[in-house]
Structure 1
Amino acid sequence: MNILDDLKMQYKMGGVAHRLIYWNVGCFLVSLVFFYDFKSGSFYFPDWVALSTELSAFGLKPWTFLTYSFFHDGFWHLLFNMVVFNFASSLFLTFFTQKQLLGLYILSAIFAGIAFVTGYFVLNLSASIVGASAAIMAVLVAVTTYQPLMNVRLLLIGNIKLWHITAVILLLDLMQFRLDNTGGHISHLAGALFGFIFIRVLQNGTDLSQIVTGFITFFTNLVKKSPSTPFRKVHKNYAKPAENRASKIITKDKAQQQIDEILDKISQSGYDSLTKEEKEFLFKAGK
């Protein structure tokens, strides 16, 4: 199995968090090819990718309220966000589902985008924004709202309460609000607010992530082709021994049993714990 097959398998077997990271990294690679000026050493994102505060831009390109949250203005911007997202999403998935994580990411990005545009309209400023920081902040604040006293072990520091980490990050945003990247800080705080609202509403019995789930299900069913049922002619072969049929069922059961054992191993120790043979078997079984 080559590296590409290994990445495909990790994407296929990984959860929503891993796939969102893959999408962010993929969009960054795309931006290096199409939106990076090597002479100036900076990115220039068009208004059909980045979220602009100009009505003529976001009014005609409403999808930018989401696409901006998958692009990053630099490698370190991407790396820091993905490290924090991996940390926050792993804690979030301890208590909530994959669908809730996806719903929170998408809805918080849209909410933060609206707050960014509104804030700059009030301030009479014009700018554009990219980055997943707002959605990541929503995930971090959401799990902190649900379990603020959770102990988190940090390298060189030791055990610390989760709410301490979140409070420091929020405080840094507030301190830099008027210094630079005002639009970014507006979206960060808006994302944090949405994460808090998401959990409070969920605790009252309303799961906002179902909006995203329902939307995805609707369009999936819309584009899905209706299954065709061609005419099949049935032949009876009385000369075929019954043992062959039984042996196929046994072989299938053994294969399924091996798949289940590999999946259990992934859930306990992670995908990287698999041997080369197990990865190849799982990749072939998934085709």
Structure 2
Amino acid sequence: MNGTSFQSDIRYWLRQGNTVNHLLLWNIAIFVILGLLNLLRYVGVSDLAFIFTYDQLVLHSELGVFLHKPWGLITYMFTHLGIFHIFFNMLNLFWFGNLFRSFLGDKRVLPLYLLGGITGGLVYMLCFYLLLPPGADATLLGASASVMALLLACATLMPNYEIGLLLIGSIRLKWLALAIIVLDLISIPQGNIGGMLAHLGGALLGFVYVKLLQNGTDLGQPIIWVTETLSGARKAAGPKTKRSSFKPKKSPLKVVKKNAVENKQLKLDQLLDKINEKGIESLSAEEKAWLDKHSQD
């Protein structure tokens, strides 16, 4: 044991500047809360707490219900009930969220997660509006549409990137994405048509997001602006204490270092910070060559 508390471990995990960690925490926290409320219902203590909380968190397909609970378009993508449902969604969020983050920067992870989920939710509502009789209501929950957006964004950005899968081996992202889309399509006649179409809606958003970004348009820019504004406001409102971070985000070298080892380490840290903030594509050809040469020394 290192003597640190569970709370301090969580704080350290969240302070790493990785939005994927925050998304994982929110999904897991809501899953645990719903699970405990469901346990109370199972043992006969109370049904009301679980039913009320679940009803507030999920996305309702019936327009009248949705207008009374519009926040469901956001909260549903953080809500899970089944263990396998959350396990596979969080596993894919960890994999593809961090892969997307490493190439396009941390600030774009949350916007794509939200936009993918919103698109999937709207497709779900449209599907049931067309298929169900007036007044009928169905509910959607889970991060699948958001995760599909991240997966398709990665596959669109770097289609030939290979990942290793258990029992399958190495596979290129473009084939993995195609296989998942085909599985969703052929699963539609077997039930859960709305859920499958929500997945496809998120996938389409991920594809469109990267294509527009490559042409200079960032669909997530309004969300980035809001999050950066709120972050700046929190920093401005905080106490004026001495900074305790390991290194500033922007610290150009203005003095001569005492030796070459310190100089190389500082430059490596600066390049890694730049990748973390803006993605690996922000590096110049010279910076990429230097990083390839020295990062494995």
Q: TM-score scaled by structure 2?
A: 0.71
Match of 1:79 among 87, 95, 108: 87
Q: Does 1:167 align with 2:178?
A: yes
> C-alpha deviations, 1:127-149, integer Å up to 9, x for none?
10100000000000011011111
Q: CA RMSD in A?
A: 3.3
Q: Does 1:28 align with 2:36?
A: no
> Corresponding residue for 1:19?
22
Q: Does 1:105 align with 2:109?
A: no
Contact conserved, 2:34 with 2:54, CA < 8 A, in 1?
no
For the pair shown, the structure with the greater C-alpha radius of gyration is 1
Using the alignment, how far apart are the partners of 1:227 and 1:129 within structure 2? 39
Point out where structure 1 has 5 or more consecutive residues left out of the alignment.
230-251, 269-287
How many pairs align?
Answer: 240
Contact conserved, 1:24 with 1:71, CA < 8 A, in 2?
yes
Aligned residue for 2:209, secondary structure, equals helix
Using the alignment, how far apart are the partners of 1:106 and 1:75 within structure 2? 22
Q: By how many angstroms is 1:123 displaced?
A: 1.0
> Corresponding residue for 1:155?
166
Using the alignment, how far apart are the partners of 1:227 and 1:104 within structure 2? 29
Aligned residue for 2:15, secondary structure, equals helix
> C-alpha deviations, 1:164-185, integer Å up to 9, x for none?
1111111111111121211111
Using the alignment, how far apart are the partners of 1:138 and 1:156 within structure 2? 25
Q: How does 1:38-187 map to 2 (within 5 A)?
A: 38=42, 44=51, 46-124=54-132, 126-187=137-198
Using the alignment, how far apart are the partners of 2:214 and 2:81 within structure 1? 36
Q: By how many angstroms is 1:34 displaced?
A: 3.0
Using the alignment, how far apart are the partners of 1:255 and 1:195 within structure 2? 34
Q: By how many angstroms is 1:85 displaced?
A: 1.1
> C-alpha deviations, 1:56-98, integer Å up to 9, x for none?
2211221110100000121111001001111111221221111
> Corresponding residue for 1:201?
212
Q: By how many angstroms is 1:153 displaced?
A: 2.3
Q: TM-score scaled by structure 1?
A: 0.74
Task: Rate the CA distance shift 1:253–1:188 in 2: closer, same or farther, 3 A.
Answer: closer
Task: Rate the CA distance shift 1:201–1:38 in 2: closer, same or farther, 3 A.
Answer: same
> C-alpha deviations, 1:186-236, integer Å up to 9, x for none?
11000000001101111110111112122334556778886899xxxxxxx
Point out where structure 2 has 5 or more consecutive residues left out of the alignment.
248-261, 274-297
Identity %: 33
Q: By how many angstroms is 1:2 displaced?
A: 2.0
